[in-house]
Amino acid sequence: MENLTENEISNIIIGCAIEVHKQLGPGLLESAYKECLYYELVKAGLSVQREKPVPVVYKDIKLDHGYRIDLLVNNKVVIELKTADCFTDVHLAQVLTYLRLGNYKLGLLLNFYVTSLKNGIKRVIL
């Protein structure tokens, strides 16, 4: 499954996220959704890294200041999970920053605090 495109990976991710949301519903902590989504993605045959560190490089220095991608799938697609009333500009900026710093093309911002997950999915392209 390593040769999948970002779009193919994102389709699998969204299917897995919908399954997690169907089983759990809204109202849990972000960490619960993250672990369940991780389980589903691995079960689907994808390579998934949890809490992937993202260093910040400024001129000649590298700062390891705790930036972490919630889930990185097949080393191509960034997933940022939220349990918020709605997405904010800061949520979008966070995903864009991870994409830029990690040189990734596609991110998915997933908000599990919705009645239907299709209303909690935002694709972010760099």
- Residue 76 has phi, psi (to 5 degrees) of -135, -40
pLDDT range class, residue 64, cuts 50, 70, 90: confident
What pTM did the predictor assign?
Answer: 0.92
Cβ–Cβ under 8 Å, residues 92 and 109: yes
Q: How many helices (H) and strands (E) does the chain have?
A: 3, 7
pLDDT at 121: 97
113 is written with which tokens? 């605090």
3-state secondary structure of 76: coil
Q: Note the pLDDT tens digit of each residue in 66-102.
A: 689 999 999 999 999 999 999 999 999 999 999 998 9
pLDDT at 55: 83
Residues 6 or more apart whose CB falls under 8 angstroms from that of 18 comprise: 117, 118
pLDDT at 7: 95
Which class in CATH covers the domain with range 6-125? alpha beta
94 is written with which tokens? 């966070």
Residue 92 DSSP one-character state? H
- Count CB-CB contacts under 10 A for residue 91: 17
pLDDT at 60: 86
pLDDT range class, residue 62, cuts 50, 70, 90: confident
Q: What residues are paired with 33 via a beta bridge?
A: none
Q: Give the CA distances from residue 59 to residues 29, 63, 96, in Å, rounded to whole numbers and listed in that order.
A: 37, 11, 20
Q: Note the pLDDT tens digit of each residue in 16-60.
A: 999 999 999 999 999 999 999 999 999 999 999 999 988 888 888
Distance CA 23, CA 88 (A): 26
